Structure 1
Amino acid sequence: MTTRHHAALGALTVAALTSALLTVPAAARSAADADGQLRIHDLQGSTRLSPYADRTVREVPGIVTGVRGYGSKGFWIQDPRGDGSAATSEGIFVFTGSGPAPGVRVGDSVLVSGKVGEYYYGGSGSGNQSVTQISGPEVTVVSSGHRLPRPEKLHADRIPEAYTPPGDPAQEDGIEGLALRPERYALDLYESLEGMNVQVPDARVVGPSTPYGELWVTVKPRQERTVRGGTRYSSYDAQNSGRLKIETLTPLSEEPFPATDTGDRLTGGAAGPLDYDQFGGYNLAARETVTVERRELPQERTRAQRRGELAVATYNVENLDPGDDPAKFQRLADGVVENLASPDILALEEIQDDTGARNDGTVTAGKTVSKLIDAIAAAGGPRYEWRGIAPQDGQDGGQPGGNIRNVFLFNPERVSFTDRPGGDATTATGVTEQRGRAALTHSPGRVTPEDAAWEDSRKPLAGEFRFRGRPVIVVANHFASKGGDQPLHGRVQPPQRSSEKQRLRQATQVNTFVKEVLAVQRKAKVVVLGDINDFEFSPTTQALTDGHALRSTVRSLPRDERYTYVFQGNAQVLDQTLVSPGIRRFDYDIVHTNAEFADQVSDHDPQVLRFRP
């Protein structure tokens, strides 16, 4: 970037004006012709794509409203004059590259020359929207110390309830070519303010802060509010338009970002340029660190199971391996004992092998599990026993080298495990009849591990337990992740959920297995649970419950309590527990201990089911 400094703003030279006009298409010159100068709203246009893309422009005026001196370095400028149109933004990002920090300051009046372009974070194939920017800039600082343009206030009444205009998912450019309608759609409003100085008033935090200096708030506080202050994602058509990410422009090394949890309050608001990135879409790049009023949200604790109740829980422990900090094992153990009340059976997801992410061919997990069992006992819980099946090296997805798998812990003082040998990484368990009851041919055993549905994904682990002499079959799951799905905030609407195809095949496999159990014993007690990686209203859940073989227990909770995970400010269900018709009465609880908190031992909340077999 080349920077020049002038003492005062002077008139453009004839040569500069002629150069500016000759570098844009004739059809676009009318906006510049009115007063003889090309301005930011001309570059932004009234759609998501600039009419000046791939053109060189000269001496575009603006006031610097924010400077980013790290990462994707650059600064934002805004035209304080404007054209009076709600559809055209008066702000734009000037990309200066990865070199030294931009040589401008907030409040500088500048003239910027350079190439206009549309930049796609994550690449054009990601489905993300683009950011209009000027790159390779030559910057003239005309004067300094100017008052910033008055910020556009983002409040509940201004944000439309509808999130996005309808589009055709078959079209690669999606909604990019549509004229912006900021009064009707939230994504259009945010696009019409791209790069401009905006302000969020006091707002409720709906997603915990991250180590990268960012948090999520809602500017529509009544929109799908959860019981603990979040915003619930309740359907594919309820994207929650009031969500907005706040991130800091101040380097974290200079001014740490305050740790915040769901339900806290952003006090004093925040102001800065409206930016866009691949990790959440539109976001406010705050010029100053934010202040937060802490609510001190407590971790939930579930009740203990009664004498005649069987408690079956599930917990994604997020890539647990023996090399993890002992504090993680201690916190997980405390959570099992204090928050989950020491369930009788605990299905764990993301147990890594004994050497963690080191890709050395190790597949055993005895050290990982034993270390957790010891920690639970030390925390005052039972001395659990465990069962599991080691995967084939590198065949179950997850972190490379980690060989994550599902594992059962059980309290031998209250429940017994029915061992039937023969199950291994590639041998499927089946269903047989014993004394009129359904039984597994292999326990523990894997459900159809050789089927293509489980390629590069965790295989379900089935086990047969006995509680007070009564058999219960439990199937622990960790379905394929949502990686590769297009974002809610992207240019393709509705977003394509490509990862769903594999989960649908997986759900069908598990559903078929449960039907085989029920064909042998109609009233068999079957619990299917784990990290399903999909919503309670999803086609995946519909496939799991097909033919009334299972029902999702999450629907037994009030709507504002249905969530196990928080993603980009949306509290949502990813972990589920489903039961066969033989389990008519039950008590189900999602125990909110992680997802809403900045200081979390896992990114998932555990859940527990209690019933009388």
Structure 2
Amino acid sequence: MTGQVKEKFGLTEIAEQIGQEPTKTGTAAVPAPVVIDQTRAETQGADKAYYESLENMLVTLPVSTLNSGGTNKFGETFVTPGTTRDRILEGEPLPASLLALDADAGAGNPVNPHKAPKSSTYVTADLFDEVRNATGPLAFSFGHYKLMPQPGAMPTVVKGPIAYPYNGLAATTAGQFRVVSFNVLNYFPVGVELDLSPVSQAEYNEKKARLADAIDDLLKRPDIVAVQEVYNLAVLQDLAATLGGYTAYLQEGNDSRSIDVGYLVKDGVSVANVRQFDRTTAGCDDSGRAYDRPPLAIDVTVAGEQFTIVNNHFKSKGGSGASGACQLQQANRLRDQVAALETAGREVIVLGDLNQFEFEPPLAALQTGSSLTNLWGSAPAEFRYSSHYQGALQTLDHVLVTDGLDDAVADFRYAPISTDYADRYLTNDGHKVADHNPAVLTLSFGAAQPEVPVTVSAQSRCIAGKAYVAVSARNDHTGPVGFEVESVFGAKSFTDVAAGASGYQSFATRQVSVAAGSVTVTATGTVGGQAATTVVTADYPAINCA
């Protein structure tokens, strides 16, 4: 063979001389594998000269440990030689000995590699599991050395301390209220293009069932789930129906792939005034707007406490978003919205996939000029991460609260159902259904008080050149309730409003224009045998009817 030795994407290869094909002279026996020396692997420099010397050779790794999470969605099992258990976190130097076991050798040659069946060399291993006697060629791709286990010669996996299924969350108790942020990864309907082919009915059914298991079983049915990467309201409503006892909320944004943010709200939770921030504002995101996925806000009333949740999905950290400049602009806009809410007397929870690490400028910007505090530092230290990438556990998903909610924070943690586990390829398993860990906030407001479930909306309208404020209050309870609607333009009472029915009042302002404002609805009824009162406010926009 005659050719030039060169590096292509980091892999050493021989580029054959044109017109001079190599000649096969026979078949040689496969040489015995070279045993990877743990000490040499750990002490090699940043250029990984030791691994370079073994590239394209048959090697054996006698024992290694998963310290970067479970086998990832690409079939990569990142390990370090030896038995030490120590999570590899973003911001820390990657160990020189880090390498991955790669499932490609048993994948066959699928038409669409994005939707290939499980590889026969997929290593089913979770965080801190041990992998023994992994043998195969040592390759290099995507910045890492990779040992390629061969069909029929799979390594042994020794289960470590991470329990499967995940059991790190207890159900909420009386007086507690749980809010979860969850990037659910491409929840698309049947027929929509995803990963080079349309979503099939079977794929859609499996995704829905696995999301339902994650929310219902692993996350213990939170009161509110703020979701990211949902295609439209219809699929979110379908998930709500599968779960039972939830209502879906979503508004379309500007994203070219039509991924949006939304909410699943448990029955009995009082919410109002669902609205987007800066949907049409010009800005730095790919659509030319401030946000491809505009923040979605919702007002919540719990045990007499009122606060606003703002669900976010900032610009991707890859590609044109790598510098973080756009995410910083988005953070500054969001911070200003929060500051305005605080000035109006509201407490705020900001959450979502912010596509920035906890130590980067956008997170600092959110906490400058508002009373927001990032709860990342209050999570259990060993679980402060929400994703894994290139062998490191990292945090892109965050929850921040204003200071009036500080005392109500009973617990904050990330539920590592995505990072810490390999995919079992089960059609109803919530582990690994997405590539982000849910961020779980549990609030405590003292003894639980019964609430009247009600949905309230307010709108500004022009009738015959005059401004009117229209208010609708819907009874979401199973029995009759009463409503007291109050505004600066008058009040209206409704008694014995039937389940599912609404009280409606249009207040005449007697003016050509009206400034933005809010109305208050007090709902009274009997819930669980106890008298209950719920107060909900709803905002209406300014309008000019001239």
- Would you call these one fold, judging by a TM-score over 0.5? yes
Match of 2:80 in 1: 218
Match of 2:354 in 1: 532
Q: How far does the alpha carbon of each residue in 1:313-366 deviate from its partner, in whole angstroms, 9 at most, with x for none?
A: 11112111332432322222222222222222211111103xxxxxxxxxxx2x
| CA drift at 1:374 | 0.8
CA distance, structure 2, for counterparts of residue 385 and residue 150 of structure 1: 58
**Runs of 4+ residues deviating >6 angstroms:** none
| CA drift at 1:609 | 0.7
Q: 2:130 aligned with 1:263, yes or no?
A: no
Match of residue 418, structure 1, among 251, 267, 272: 272
Q: How far does the alpha carbon of each residue in 1:285-331 deviate from its partner, in whole angstroms, 9 at most, with x for none?
A: 34564223252632234222233222111111211133243232222
CA distance, structure 2, for counterparts of residue 370 and residue 530 of structure 1: 20
Q: Given that residues 117 and 135 in structure 1 are in contact (C-alpha distance below 8 angstroms), is that contact kept between their aligned partners in structure 2?
A: no
Q: 2:272 aligned with 1:450, yes or no?
A: no
Q: Given that residues 151 and 271 in structure 1 are in contact (C-alpha distance below 8 angstroms), is that contact kept between their aligned partners in structure 2?
A: no
CA distance, structure 2, for counterparts of residue 470 and residue 337 of structure 1: 26
Matches within 5 A, 1:451-600: 451-456=282-287, 457-484=292-319, 498-521=322-345, 524-547=346-369, 549-585=371-407, 586=409, 587-595=411-419, 596-599=421-424, 600=432
Matches within 5 A, 1:125-524: 129=10, 131-136=12-17, 138-141=21-24, 144-146=27-29, 148=31, 151=34, 153-155=36-38, 157-160=39-42, 183-185=44-46, 187-205=48-66, 206-209=68-71, 214-219=76-81, 221-222=83-84, 225=86, 231-235=87-91, 237-248=92-103, 250-253=105-108, 256-263=120-127, 265=129, 267-278=131-142, 280-287=143-150, 289-293=153-157, 295=159, 297-323=164-190, 324-353=203-232, 365=233, 367-377=234-244, 383-391=245-253, 395-397=254-256, 400=257, 403-413=258-268, 415-419=269-273, 443-447=274-278, 449-456=280-287, 457-484=292-319, 498-521=322-345, 524=346
Secondary structure, aligned partner of 2:165: coil
Structure 2 length normalisation: TM-score? 0.67
Q: Which amino acid aligns with 1:507?
A: A
Q: Given that residues 480 and 499 in structure 1 are in contact (C-alpha distance below 8 angstroms), is that contact kept between their aligned partners in structure 2?
A: no
Cα distance 1:308–1:449, how it changes in 2: closer, same or farther (>3 A)? farther
CA distance, structure 2, for counterparts of residue 510 and residue 371 of structure 1: 30
CA distance, structure 2, for counterparts of residue 313 and residue 248 of structure 1: 33
Q: Given that residues 249 and 287 in structure 1 are in contact (C-alpha distance below 8 angstroms), is that contact kept between their aligned partners in structure 2?
A: no
Match of residue 601, structure 1, among 423, 429, 433: 433
| CA drift at 1:574 | 1.8
Q: Given that residues 532 and 576 in structure 1 are in contact (C-alpha distance below 8 angstroms), is that contact kept between their aligned partners in structure 2?
A: yes
| CA drift at 1:385 | 2.0
Q: How far does the alpha carbon of each residue in 1:549-602 deviate from its partner, in whole angstroms, 9 at most, with x for none?
A: 322212112321112212233222121111112221311121222232324221
Cα distance 1:149–1:543, how it changes in 2: closer, same or farther (>3 A)? farther
Q: Which moved more, 1:134-143 or 1:503-512?
A: 134-143
Q: Given that residues 72 and 422 in structure 2 are in contact (C-alpha distance below 8 angstroms), is that contact kept between their aligned partners in structure 1?
A: no
Unaligned runs of 5+ in 1: 1-111, 121-128, 162-182, 226-230, 354-364, 378-382, 420-442, 486-496
| CA drift at 1:546 | 2.6
Q: Which amino acid aligns with 1:565?
A: S
Structure 1 length normalisation: TM-score? 0.60
Q: Which amino acid aligns with 1:501?
A: A
Q: Which amino acid aligns with 1:339?
A: L
| CA drift at 1:535 | 1.9
Cα distance 1:266–1:144, how it changes in 2: closer, same or farther (>3 A)? farther
Cα distance 1:211–1:574, how it changes in 2: closer, same or farther (>3 A)? closer
CA distance, structure 1, for counterparts of residue 337 and residue 123 of structure 2: 45
Cα distance 1:144–1:234, how it changes in 2: closer, same or farther (>3 A)? same
Secondary structure, aligned partner of 2:362: helix
Q: Given that residues 266 and 291 in structure 1 are in contact (C-alpha distance below 8 angstroms), is that contact kept between their aligned partners in structure 2?
A: no
Q: Which moved more, 1:500-509 or 1:297-306?
A: 297-306
Q: Percent identity?
A: 26
Q: How far does the alpha carbon of each residue in 1:457-477 deviate from its partner, in whole angstroms, 9 at most, with x for none?
A: 311111111112321111101
| CA drift at 1:196 | 4.1
Q: Given that residues 118 and 131 in structure 1 are in contact (C-alpha distance below 8 angstroms), is that contact kept between their aligned partners in structure 2?
A: yes
User: Cα RMSD (Å) of the superposition?
Assistant: 2.9
CA distance, structure 2, for counterparts of residue 386 and residue 265 of structure 1: 38
| CA drift at 1:263 | 3.0
Q: How far does the alpha carbon of each residue in 1:36-88 deviate from its partner, in whole angstroms, 9 at most, with x for none?
A: xxxxxxxxxxxxxxxxxxxxxxxxxxxxxxxxxxxxxxxxxxxxxxxxxxxxx
CA distance, structure 1, for counterparts of residue 416 and residue 76 of structure 2: 22
Q: Given that residues 248 and 262 in structure 2 are in contact (C-alpha distance below 8 angstroms), is that contact kept between their aligned partners in structure 1?
A: yes
